[in-house]
Structure 1
Amino acid sequence: MRDLVVAGGGPVGLVAALHAARAGLDVVVREPRRPPIDKACGEGLMPGALAALTDLGVDPPGVPITGIRYVDDHDSAVAEFRHGPGRGVRRTALSAALLDAVAAAGVEVVARPVEAVEQRDDHVLVDDEPAGHLIAADGLHSRVRRLVGAERDLSGAKRYGLRAHTAVAPWSSEVEVHWSRRSEAYVTPVARDEVGLAILTDRPAPFAELLADHRGLAERFAGATWSPVRGAGPLRQRVTRRVVGRTLLVGDAAGYLDAITGEGIALGLAQAAAAVEAVVAGCAEDYETAYRRLGRRHQLLTQALLSSARVPAVRRLIVPTAARLPRVFGAAVDQLARPA
């Protein structure tokens, strides 16, 4: 019987497997998608996320990110990272680096989804195969979350994300967040000759139409050739609990509020470490407490920004206020940049 099965071979699942291997557990990853795995995301690793990967010996290729800049048609505000840079990394490059690390650690990755979960007192059956525990890191629309009955109905406004790349040399070492009346556009340098553009909105529309709302970006990218657009959403996912018997939910599978602060990977990596720690200690329920502790700061900041962005009169003031109060803006960015 294996000690641990990890469902999902994205960054959070692979990091969970690395922590498990370091702890001496017999672990296998179940991931049906063909590697390296791509996903619609902003592709900016905050300094805390980069530090967590470095601690595991993972050094994905990319370009340094020195801070966050908010931009609208009239104002801009910048906050530099205070404790070292982050990194812009293509999602496929991050996937490849983590898969190499997992292979070097002797962890097997099996090209199969998890399709059935049954809880037992002293083990869990994963597709009729016994394991000590199951960590679900299978993403925003987690199958395991549904299988163990931890999913809650969605209510309220739905938000969606789109992402594409273009062969344009980065003009800044910061992630730029451009605000329009109906979306936020995140420009992330991911190579010396490439940037990614991720757009978040609650009003689904074609990528080109949403880009046109951001006049400065539309002018800069005039005539650009874009890669195929990837989408994600609805972003908000609710769960009843993060621990169900011997199954622990991590990353997006554990519930998700929004990508507006760009902290998702850093938080997911911290959750992966905490989940493995609980498994090693033989106290899976401890992870529920750790999850709440790790997510408290992120939840507060994300909810505050999201609530402000939903009110048009307040939304228009976000960038001007950040420009007028640089210390406050810098402190908020510092909270997001440091380890979870």
Structure 2
Amino acid sequence: MPSSERVAESADVIVVGAGPAGSTAAVHLARAGLDVLLLEKSTFPREKVCGDGLTPRGVKQLHALGIDTSDTAGGDWIKNKGLRVVGGGTTIELDWPTLADYPNFGVVRPRRDFDDMLATMAVKAGARLRTATTVTGPVTDDATGRITGVVAKSENGPVRYAAPLVIGADGVSARVALGMGVNKRDDRPLGVAVRRYYTSPRADDDYLESHLELWDRADPDHPRLLPGYGWIFGLGDGTVNVGLGMLNSSKAFGKTDYRALLRSWLAGTPEEWGLREENAIGGIGGAALPMGFNRTPHYADGLLLIGDAGGVVNPFNGEGIAYAMESAGIAADAVLQAQGRSGAAREAALAGYATAMQLHLGKYYRLGGMFSALIGNPRVMRTATKLGLPRKHLMYLVLKLLAGLYDGRRGDWADHVVRALQRAVPSV
């Protein structure tokens, strides 16, 4: 082979992408004794467009990795106790529910620090991390079509890495999946989000704040209702993460200057919040949100797709970190079950990942797809906000449904309702 195509390194498993999904998978596999090669296009620390907030569902995944989020953990985790929802002239504070399956608190930590921490944990577990390495596509066996490695651009030029299994955790671009012919599905929800940091007196807040209506009140006599939904998450260090999102079910999707939209909304917020240009930190970042399993199959021919590469963002609320980490854990378990097997038995274990993902989230994401289609209509959204927010009993159910925070067994009346709704729909 030409020198540019010689195998630079080989491993039991290659993980492409060291975000929350990829690093979590690498931690699980390396701890189990597998030789893991973790490839990341950036260098750490690095910025990512995100709300920086984790619900209790995400906190559960941190605990599964053995990460200490207690008050004695050095102050790295800024805890929150619930969600504040603003819309229709109403503001309601909803505490995270007390459940058997999830803790009753969320946390906030900037992705610049969070992703670095997880990647470092993967290295400590035994994974080999290669940064500044941009994977451009898969290497396949000509006879079988199975993936046998990846090709990449590194600081030293083109390189090739070999492994019998590859985990695609390379985000919405999903270059490895595309190279294997796994294209995104247009019948699944897609979102877009932009965010910016500001210094603000709202930095210390016990609640994550969600705005179901975005108002431009720069002209008090002629307020304008803008498309999309917004958030304000205090980071506890004098700064806040502020952003907005929009679903492709909205008529304004793809026709909107999202950065200008963010500025218009913030110009109409109270002056004392400090969300003005002179208090901005850095620019406005944007990213796509692949939702509802918009790229399948999640396993085929030696390639497992996790996180955004597999479209695992929750279509109800745009949450991605928790579900990325969950998919990583499920994929890692399938890979470990395949060890020591051969032939059809090995393939059955690996294919079990796709089945497990369907059982885990398929019906819930089907409901989420229906929900996202409905709220894309502004009139439906306004009516639901006006009628629903004042009814705290109803909002307790809505919180459990939208945040995926319900007990899988027993639980209270709301848990039973959420489970019943899922039984009534087919899987995605």
After TM superposition, the structure 1 = structure 2 runs for residues 287-326 of structure 1, keeping only pairs within 5 Å, are 287-296=353-362, 298-326=364-392
After TM superposition, the structure 1 = structure 2 runs for residues 210-249 of structure 1, keeping only pairs within 5 Å, are 210-213=262-265, 217=269, 219=271, 220-223=273-276, 225-227=279-281, 228-233=283-288, 235=290, 238-249=294-305
Question: Any idea what SS the aligned residue of 2:304 has?
Answer: strand
**Structure-2 change in CA distance of 1:238 and 1:4 (3 Å):** same
Residue 141 of structure 1, aligned match among 143, 155, 173: 173
Alignment check: 8 A CA contact 1:62 1:90 kept: no
Deviations 1:251-291 (A, max 9, x none): 00002566651431111111000101111111210011111
Alignment check: 8 A CA contact 2:21 2:306 kept: yes
Identity, % of aligned positions: 23
Alignment check: 8 A CA contact 1:183 1:210 kept: no
**Does residue 107 of structure 2 align to residue 87 of structure 1?**
yes
Q: Separation in 2 of the partners of 1:74 and 1:215?
A: 18
Larger Rg: 2
* 1:11 aligned partner, one-letter code: P
After TM superposition, the structure 1 = structure 2 runs for residues 66-105 of structure 1, keeping only pairs within 5 Å, are 66-72=81-87, 74-83=89-98, 84-105=104-125
2:193 equivalent in structure 1: 161
Question: Any idea what SS the aligned residue of 2:12 has?
Answer: strand
Residue 137 of structure 2, aligned match among 116, 135, 144: 116
Shifted more, 79-88 versus 327-336: the winner is 327-336
**Structure-2 change in CA distance of 1:238 and 1:328 (3 Å):** same
Q: Separation in 2 of the partners of 1:26 and 1:213?
A: 49
Tell me how large the CA RMSD over aligned residues is: 2.7
Shifted more, 90-99 versus 60-69: the winner is 60-69
**Does residue 298 of structure 2 align to residue 278 of structure 1?**
no
Q: Separation in 1 of the partners of 2:188 and 2:200?
A: 37
- Number of residue-to-residue matches in the alignment: 340
* 2:237 aligned partner, one-letter code: R
Shift of 1:87: 0.4
After TM superposition, the structure 1 = structure 2 runs for residues 46-65 of structure 1, keeping only pairs within 5 Å, are 46-59=55-68, 61-65=76-80
- TM-score, structure 2 as length reference: 0.72
Alignment check: 8 A CA contact 1:263 1:298 kept: no
**Structure-2 change in CA distance of 1:157 and 1:96 (3 Å):** closer
Question: Any idea what SS the aligned residue of 1:285 has?
Answer: helix
* 1:321 aligned partner, one-letter code: L
- TM-score, structure 1 as length reference: 0.90
1:198 equivalent in structure 2: 243
After TM superposition, the structure 1 = structure 2 runs for residues 324-335 of structure 1, keeping only pairs within 5 Å, are 324-335=390-401
Shifted more, 158-167 versus 280-289: the winner is 158-167
**Structure-2 change in CA distance of 1:256 and 1:304 (3 Å):** same
Structure 1 residue ranges without an equivalent (≥5): none
* 1:57 aligned partner, one-letter code: G
**Structure-2 change in CA distance of 1:287 and 1:234 (3 Å):** closer
Shift of 1:130: 2.8
* 1:70 aligned partner, one-letter code: V
2:422 equivalent in structure 1: none
1:177 equivalent in structure 2: 210
Structure 2 residue ranges without an equivalent (≥5): 1-9, 70-75, 99-103, 152-159, 215-225, 247-252, 339-348, 409-428
Residue 162 of structure 2, aligned match among 123, 130, 135: 130
Report which structure shows greater RCO (CA 8 Å, sep ≥6): 1
